[in-house]
Structure 1
Amino acid sequence: YEMLRQFIDGSDEIEGLLVVVVASQAFLSDQRLGLNRYEALKLRIWDDVRDKTRQNPFAPMVRLTDQTTVFAESSLLAKVGSRKEDVQHQRVIESLRAGVPSPGVVQALGCPQPMVKSKFQQMLQDAQASIHKGWTTKGMLIEGGFGTGKSHLLESLRRMALESRFVCSKVVISKETPLYSPAMMFRSAIEAADIPEKRGDVLTEVAADLNFKSPQYANFYEWVHRQGGEIDGRFAASVFLYERMVNDPELSHRIIRFWAGDPLTDAEIKRLLKSCDASVSYRFERVSPMEMALQRFKFVSRLMIAAGYAGWILLIDEAEIIGRYSFKQRAQSYAELARWLGRLEASSFADLGYKSGLAAVMALTDDFQSAILDEKGDREKVPEKLRESGSETDLVLSRQAEQGMRLIECERIPLVGPYDQLVEEIYHKIRAIHGAAYGWEPPQVPTIERLSSTRMREYVKGWITEWD
């Protein structure tokens, strides 16, 4: 009894807990030794003895009965014994109930967007071949309303990227991660990066995988040290220092943090080079924070390839947040959208997808064009207002923003809605999963009215609510 009491007191820190106690009838009925005599335990599980203003929070999960036929010991233990096999099914149902596209949900249900997946597979191949072919990888822009499966699709694409040996980052546009700021985008992308078959800090893992004698590393070293190349000399110096001082844990960590976006002063780099007797002299140009962030994207992607990975894929969600920005921020965001899709009118120095193994998929809502470009008037107002200033910087931004808006109009890929056959397939899959998760045979339930406007999330929520 004391063990049970202590266990119940500690169980409020355990999520999703179900405790089953199989005990003799005396547990309930014996007046001298039974539950009735152990007040501390009784107060925790027997609602009748509690103050009615403080209901037992465990009451919905507590069953006290002397009807042994209801919970026969053998069948109860058999069900408890099978729970290990059903945990994955329960996780899938919990994710579907909450509307969260977990990896388990994607694995169980698949992804009914064959055209998007086919284009994404081609994008992966283009990104991997971009270094040798010398081209810019074109990104993808997908659109869909709330509940149409954008998040589910992005999770499916994340799995595909990881299975193809790409490092993959899902970046959600927000106040903390504005699309118009490459520096903040880089920070978020590094923090959110998943690396195939590994866990932990992505750049630490990537650096650990570098083989200084491999042909991939030799190509990377030559590229980063190329005179007049695409990357600032600070990155070349850091690569030299990391290779020369790889056995110095403190210095290695500082170099990796510099690659991840932390500052490392020019004076400090020069001091470290001098201590290593570097025979090569490195020249550090004056570089703006924006340029440095853009170069970091390309540098880190090439570093990942040097470590044996296929490249770096970014999945950028909720790009419709652009519509809430100020005028200048919206203009910059349209330009950045064009950059991520590999269509920016700029030199290869600023083109992230040029010979880098880096590519992106962007997702926004299906009403963005009508609400922002049309009703808000961005299509005409943004270029006009920028040209009025007369500055060369604003004229360039005007052209780039126009390119981004044209891509939203012409290049977006709409998600396929829930057609009848798909609804039936998903229904039977979820019904089977719900049955396996809770050890029962779910009855057939009526599906909500099938209209062209009905979203898949509404169907799924309706079925699970009925079965629950």
Structure 2
Amino acid sequence: MPTYSEPRKQAIAVIESLRAGIPTRVSTRELPDLRESLIEQIAQDLRRLADGNPPPGRLLWGAYGQGKTHALTAVEHMALDEGFAVSRLSLSREVSCHHLFNFYGRVAIALRTPDSQIPGIQQALDRQEPGNLIDSPILNPGRYVHPLPAIVLEDYFYAAGEDRDLLYGDLMGTRLSMLELRRMHRLNRGETMPRFEENFRVAQHASAYFGLMADALVWCGYKGWVILIDEVELVGRLGRVSRLQAYRNLNWLLNWSKNMPYPIYTLGVVASSLRNDVWFSGAGAIEAKPTGRQARIDSVQIPALAAERGGPELALEMENFFKMAINSRQCPSIKLIRDSDLESLLERLRELHGVAYDWSAQLDVDSLRRKVKETGSQPIRTYIRAALEVLDMAYVYREAIDLQVDRLQEAALTEDESYFVPAADE
């Protein structure tokens, strides 16, 4: 069996991950950053989070094919490399954020840490000495809107076997009944569970689980919890009342009211269709007097609904939410990649292919870029697929190949506009 050098093995790993369409932490490190200024903004945010000052999160806007998901992948890998725990998920008809505790269960099971390939936090918890909890904010009275999650974490360290696994499941969002939690507390700690001023209710107290998880991650040695949300535009499919609740939850997770007490940073990517068709009707939507079509857009009707259901304070919170969302400094649009940057990416791909397969890789980068571009607007992955196919064939036949790029063309790069028409009012 041949023995490869470390650079060659790494180059093979990069090429094969790109061939499979699954970018890895190695591939994002080895390929040039096509949106350096944007990633640097987020890197500054993460430095603030690591310093104990959770910054406001961001939404990144972009049309289909402009690299929203790729940008999220780059941030995910950067955060893991910098020592943060990361949860990444996509919204869908089944996964939304209008029910905060259900959403917590989704982000908790998706949690990744820099030093483990196993999702979740159990391995990290099992390395800790429970006596050290006293040095963390986890046991501070009033730290969470309800003390139950902190008690569950304490009980986890006293339990063994199936009870321990069930308590871990509760910490990850699979709730146990209060009857079962009291039984485990009494069995494993020899005392009755403390009486609470009010019963735990998921609709009111879900943020306690988010806070407990974020604090537990820092206690385990990570710098904070980064939550990455893809396809935020699917919030637009909820009914009006559910959209209001989803926006409230997003506002809290994004720390746009500047009241996030936990080491959490949230970044979402959103199709421009949501901004143009559901949230706003032009840049002046918030200031304009609502009439006709404009009265039905969310930046107008949701604050009005908030005023009806929660009063002027909630209405102001929602107005601020939409103003932040349209603020280009806080929520920038992902711009199209410049030709020069795209050529740098393809040139680096050529170099890595040569290292991976130990040959003098040849690729006419400018010609390939122009040929793909002639087929119409294409996402970056199409250029990568085209480059890899040309390089693979040139490697096999040892001669320049004229690729027929039309068969690499992606499906029509348009959103289903009707999909973003909000569902009927609830």
Structure 1 length-normalised TM: 0.69
* Distance in 2 of aligned mates of 1:367 and 1:443: 37
Within-5 A mapping of 1:387-426? 387=304, 391-393=308-310, 398-410=315-327, 411-426=330-345
CA contact (8 A) 1:143 1:365 kept: yes
1:285 lines up with 2:198 in the alignment? yes
* Distance in 2 of aligned mates of 1:372 and 1:385: 11
* Distance in 2 of aligned mates of 1:252 and 1:112: 45
How many angstroms does 1:409 deviate by?
0.9
Residue 24 of structure 1 is matched in structure 2 by none
Amino acid aligned to 2:340? Q
Residue 228 of structure 2 is matched in structure 1 by 315
Residue 167 of structure 1 is matched in structure 2 by 85
CA contact (8 A) 1:233 1:282 kept: no
1:122 lines up with 2:28 in the alignment? no
Structure 2 length-normalised TM: 0.75
Amino acid aligned to 1:148? Q
CA contact (8 A) 1:142 1:364 kept: yes
How many angstroms does 1:89 deviate by?
3.9
How many angstroms does 1:84 deviate by?
9.9
Residue 267 of structure 1 is matched in structure 2 by 179
1:255 lines up with 2:146 in the alignment? no
Q: 1:374 aligns with which of 263, 267, 280?
A: 280
Structure 2: where are the runs of 5+ without partners?
282-292, 394-426
CA contact (8 A) 2:54 2:264 kept: no
* Distance in 2 of aligned mates of 1:83 and 1:389: 61
Residue 303 of structure 1 is matched in structure 2 by 216
Where 1:430 maps in the other structure, the secondary structure is helix
Structure 1 vs Structure 2 CA RMSD: 3.3
CA contact (8 A) 1:89 1:436 kept: yes
Residue 136 of structure 2 is matched in structure 1 by 219
How many angstroms does 1:168 deviate by?
0.6
Residue 242 of structure 1 is matched in structure 2 by 156
Amino acid aligned to 1:456? I
* Distance in 2 of aligned mates of 1:380 and 1:363: 20
CA contact (8 A) 1:217 1:306 kept: no
Where 1:283 maps in the other structure, the secondary structure is coil
CA contact (8 A) 1:417 1:455 kept: no
Residue 96 of structure 1 is matched in structure 2 by 18
Which is higher, the Rg of structure 1 or of structure 2? 1
The alpha-carbon distance between structure 1 residues 368 and 279, as it changes in their structure 2 partners (threshold 3 A), is closer
CA contact (8 A) 2:253 2:264 kept: no
CA contact (8 A) 1:176 1:184 kept: no
How many angstroms does 1:360 deviate by?
0.8
CA contact (8 A) 1:171 1:192 kept: yes
* Distance in 2 of aligned mates of 1:255 and 1:437: 46
How many angstroms does 1:319 deviate by?
0.8
How many angstroms does 1:438 deviate by?
4.6
Residue 72 of structure 1 is matched in structure 2 by none
Within-5 A mapping of 1:330-349? 330-344=243-257
How many residue pairs were aligned?
373
How many angstroms does 1:369 deviate by?
1.8
- Tell me the alpha carbon deviations over residues 110-156 of structure 1, each in whole angstroms, 9 at most, x when there is no partner: 422222222222222222333xxxx5531122122333222222222
Q: 1:459 aligns with which of 352, 362, 383?
A: 383
Within-5 A mapping of 1:43-54? none
The alpha-carbon distance between structure 1 residues 378 and 424, as it changes in their structure 2 partners (threshold 3 A), is farther
